[in-house]
């Protein structure tokens, strides 16, 4: 008997009709003789609506209470879906993450799963029940509910698949797989039959909205057999795996991210330890920094420019200004009208012409590059936010039109 983890996203459970459809998919898997663990997201835009509700009352609520609020969305989904399964006479039980024992760190709104207790789920599966688990959340050592960050239900699913050694982890969504880029921007984007964990990880962390990046990290680490499939149509999706057939195209996809902001510290002293002081301060305040650029200025000074998530820009400014006398910089410049476009592919490792081809596409489209950042299998450029979609299209056309 196989064990399959099936995760359904918010749009797949957005109303009664869709939940009944999801229940049929689960029922088919169950009647085929499999054990099934189901992980659900909150219905439709529920999480956003809950955030709006909080804002009406308190623009700066504590993160603990925010987690308490947001975790309710997933609880609604699992209960409703269990009721749908009951109508199909499928034995099932819905469980919140704290009931399972999905133990996490205490970093509210960005908790990490540390351990998953297996007893409860195991005993339910042994009784041939479908187990429906709330995605996106955990419980910390104090018994407080935490959430794993937006999009975190994918991570809940992969973590459960890893702990229970599932034969397959299926992520059902309203697209039918992973595309070379966002089909809403580039209509001739293609669906990939397969993609490596590393490529998927880079794409996910560079703004491709298909999978939560932590979920891909976990899948790679624990060799989870992962698949992104359509919740609407019964057809093959995209398999995420260790190695894929080598593609001639060099890149797997083009991703964009417009949720970033640029912060520049101008006029720092050109001494050892300055970068350490700046980034240590930010990291101690849980502010994630992405692209970093240091440049030498005039008169023994230097500038350090970096990107953060838009939501962290003001906090970064405040923290840095609070330490202005210790850091000894002249002033801070900020820009939240920027975006990042990345190409990702295993082919980048062995083919240096790939980056040049990307820059050529940008040049031909008349787009200025502000910063460049690379990894072994990725090249990212920072651009004006208004150029982002044009850049994605120009780059995608360059790489995918001639094959
Ligand atoms: N409901 C959460 C969100 O909207 C988690 C998820 O959907 O994965 O971010
Ligand atoms: Mg998602």
Do the Cβ atoms of 110 and 76 come closer than 8 Å?
no
Rounded Cα–Cα distance for residues 287 and 313 (Å): 9
Contacts of 125 (CB under 8 A, 6+ apart): 3, 35, 37, 131
User: What gap in Å lies between CA 40 and CA 99, rounded to an integer?
Assistant: 15
Nearest atom in ligand 1 to 9's CA: 7
Q: Alpha-carbon distance 289 to 312, whole Å? A: 10
Choose one of 46, 48, 135, 231 to mutate for the ligand 1 pocket test, by most ligand atoms within 8 angstroms of C-beta: 135
Angle at 48 between CA 173 and CA 51, to 5 degrees: 150
d(CA 151, ligand 2 centre) in Å: 4
Whole-angstrom distance, CA of residue 97 vs CA of residue 75: 9
The token duo for 182 is: 């966002």
Q: Which whole-number Å values give the CA distances from 5 to 18, 30, 93, 141, 296, in the listed order? A: 19, 11, 15, 26, 52
Task: State residue 350's pLDDT score.
Answer: 80
Q: Give the pLDDT of residue 348.
A: 87
Instruction: Give the pocket of ligand 1 (CB within 6 Å).
Output: 9-10, 41-42, 47, 73, 135-136, 150-153
Question: Which protein residue's CA is at the shortest distance from atom 6 of ligand 1?
Answer: 151
Give the pLDDT of residue 248. Answer: 57
Tell me, what's the pLDDT at 242? 92
Query: Which listed ligand is nearest to 228 at the C-alpha?
Result: 2
Q: How far is the CA of 136 from the centre of ligand 1 (A)?
A: 6
Those residues whose beta carbon sits under 5 angstroms from the ion ligand 2 are 9, 151
Q: Of 255, 169, 261, nearest to 204 (Cα)? A: 255
Written as six digits, the tokens of 7 are 């995760």
Pocket test for ligand 1, best of 75, 102, 150 (most atoms within 8 A of CB): 150
Which ligand 1 atom is nearest residue 150's CA? 9
DSSP strands (E only) in 117-206: 130-134, 137-139, 145-147, 168-173, 194-196
**How many CA atoms does the CB half-sphere of 244 hold within 13 Å?**
22
**Per-residue confidence in pLDDT tens, the chain, 403 aa:** 899 999 999 999 999 999 999 999 999 999 999 999 999 999 999 999 999 999 999 999 999 999 999 999 999 999 999 999 999 999 999 999 999 999 999 999 999 999 999 999 999 999 999 999 999 999 999 999 999 999 999 999 999 999 999 999 999 998 889 999 998 899 999 999 999 999 999 998 888 888 999 999 999 999 999 999 999 888 999 999 998 876 655 799 999 999 999 999 999 998 899 999 999 999 999 899 999 998 887 778 999 999 999 999 999 999 999 999 999 999 999 999 999 999 999 888 888 789 999 999 999 999 999 999 999 999 999 999 999 999 999 999 999 875 4
Other C-beta atoms within 10 Å of 318: how many?
10
pTM for this model (two decimals): 0.88
Nearest-CA residue for ligand 1 atom 9 is 150
Determine the atom of ligand 1 nearest the C-alpha atom of 148. 5
| Res 88: pLDDT | 98
Q: How far apart are CA 37 and CA 227, in angstroms?
A: 15
């Amino acid at each position: 008997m196989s064990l399959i983890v099936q995760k359904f996203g918010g749009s797949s459970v957005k109303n009664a009709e869709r939940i009944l459809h999801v229940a049929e998919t689960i029922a088919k898997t169950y009647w085929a003789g499999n054990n099934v663990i189901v992980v659900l997201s909150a219905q439709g835009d529920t999480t956003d609506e809950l955030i709006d509700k909080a804002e009406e009352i308190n623009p700066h609520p504590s993160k603990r209470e925010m987690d308490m609020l947001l975790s309710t969305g997933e609880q609604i989904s699992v209960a409703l879906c269990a009721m749908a399964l009951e109508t199909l006479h499928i034995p099932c039980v819905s469980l919140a993450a704290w009931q399972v024992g999905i133990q996490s760190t205490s970093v509210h709104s960005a908790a990490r799963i540390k351990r998953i207790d297996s007893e409860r789920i195991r005993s339910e599966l042994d009784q041939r029940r479908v187990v429906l688990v709330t995605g996106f959340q955990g419980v910390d050592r104090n018994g407080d509910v935490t959430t794993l960050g937006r999009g975190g239900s994918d991570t809940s699913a992969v973590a459960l698949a890893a702990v229970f050694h599932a034969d397959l982890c299926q992520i059902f969504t309203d697209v039918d797989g992973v595309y070379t880029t966002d089909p809403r921007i580039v209509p001739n984007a293609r669906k990939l039959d397969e993609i490596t964990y590393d490529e998927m990880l880079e794409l996910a962390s560079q703004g491709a909205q298909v999978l939560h990046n932590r979920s891909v990290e976990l899948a790679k680490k624990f060799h989870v057999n992962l698949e992104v499939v359509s919740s609407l149509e019964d057809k093959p999706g995209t398999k995420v795996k260790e190695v894929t057939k080598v593609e001639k195209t060099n890149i797997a996809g083009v991703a964009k991210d417009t949720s970033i902001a640029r912060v520049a510290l101008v006029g720092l002293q050109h001494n050892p330890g300055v970068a350490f002081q700046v980034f240590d301060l930010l990291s101690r305040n849980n502010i994630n920094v992405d692209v970093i650029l240091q440049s030498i200025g005039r008169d023994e000074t230097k500038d350090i420019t970096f990107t953060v998530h838009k939501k962290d820009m003001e906090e970064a400014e405040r923290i840095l200004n609070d330490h202005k006398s210790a850091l000894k910089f002249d002033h801070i410049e900020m820009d939240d009208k920027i975006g990042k476009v990345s190409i990702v592919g295993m082919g980048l490792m062995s083919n240096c012409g790939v980056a040049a081809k990307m820059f050529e596409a940008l040049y031909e489209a008349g787009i200025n590059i502000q910063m460049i950042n690379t990894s072994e299998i990725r090249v990212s450029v920072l651009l004006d936010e208004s150029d982002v979609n044009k850049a994605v299209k120009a780059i995608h056309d360059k790489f995918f039109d001639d094959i």
